[in-house]
Amino acid sequence: MTSILEFILRLAVWLLLAPALPGIINKVKAWVAGRQGPPMGQLYYDLARLWKKSVVMSTLASPAFIIGPAVAWIAVLVAAMFLPLGPVGGAPGFHGDVLLFIYLLAVARFCTTWAAMETGSAFEGMGSAREVSYAVLSEAALMTAVLSLGVQSGSVTLNEMLATSAGAGAVLLAAGLFTVLLAENSRVPFDDPNTHLELTMIHEAMVLDHSGPPLAVILHGASMKLMLFAVLLAEAVLPLGNMQPLMATFALIGAVLAVTIGVGLVESLLARFAFRRAPLLLTTAFLFCVFALLIAWKGGAA
């Protein structure tokens, strides 16, 4: 019974709290600009409104146009359930679950891209091409960061890898993972979630033809993905496993809020990079993770 209640509580955290993060980012951006901005619960209102609307589909689209976002949402949720939440371990942890964690994120991207290509739209094809081109470098940085945590902890299980901090390479790993977070969630300087110019959109270009419940699923999945990377970054840097449960809980909440506020400040103080400069930033993130890996490797050898 305890495990069932724990599973339900964990599921509720990811489903109910994730939409609050984009609201916090928008509030930070509004505060920096001297505006009131939308309420922090705006995404909740948008999701409720979209669920009541009908679906408009392209005549060229197959059922994959609807199935893709649903599968992507499930993949992100399952990947999130593998992450430990502070003193609470991951739900279905097993040896090597970090590999499934990375593959689930790749499946989510594939399904979103697949659904976008179903419409036969040139703009959605352009956005899909840009999305997967960024993913080549961001996934390399993410896998290197995970390898660094594996070397540091001597394990390939998420519960054990994230129980202790990244050690001497924590700052480098944090910088690399934060850059990956911005790229994976289509935030500035890689993409601008507020833009409506077709020639500059990336993620938004992929969902131009979605409406109603499928669009709600995409938006909710994007918020869960943002929270997933924020939690991963916080647990990779902080030694939550060495803290008391109550202190670890507050530390995790504070770290996720700090990462979210950091995203808002980045979007307020930086402009979107040109496409030719974005790969250079992702390469820098990859090098940060490589240096963190070398520090973990040499530190363990010593």
Q: pLDDT of 283-299, one tens digit each?
A: 999 999 999 999 999 87
pLDDT tens sequence across 186-203:
999 998 887 766 666 788
End-to-end CA distance of the chain: 45
Largest separation between any pair of C-alpha atoms in the chain: 63
pLDDT recorded at residue 282: 95
CA gap 48, 54 in Å, rounded: 13
What is the pLDDT averaged over residues 213-240? Answer: 95
pLDDT tens sequence across 72-131:
999 999 999 999 987 766 667 788 899 999 999 999 999 999 999 998 888 888 889 889
CA gap 137, 216 in Å, rounded: 28
Q: What average pLDDT does the structure give for the chain? A: 90
pLDDT recorded at residue 3: 79
- DSSP bridge partners of 85: 88
pLDDT tens sequence across 255-283:
999 999 999 999 999 988 888 888 999 99
pLDDT recorded at residue 124: 87
SS (H, E, C) the chain: CHHHHHHHHHHHHHHHHCCHHHHHHHHHHHHHHCCCCCCCCHHHHHHHHHHCCCCCCCCCCCCHHHHHHHHHHHHHHHHHHHCCECCECCCCCCCCHHHHHHHHHHHHHHHHHHHHHCCCCHHHHHHHHHHHHHHHHHHHHHHHHHHHHHHHHCCCCHHHHCCCCCHHHHHHHHHHHHHHHHHHCCCCCCCCCCCCCCCCCCHHHHCCCCCHHHHHHHHHHHHHHHHHHHHHHHHHHCCHHHCCHHHHHHHHHHHHHHHHHHHHHHHHHCCCCCCCCHHHHHHHHHHHHHHHHHHHHHHHHC
pLDDT recorded at residue 196: 67
pLDDT recorded at residue 120: 87
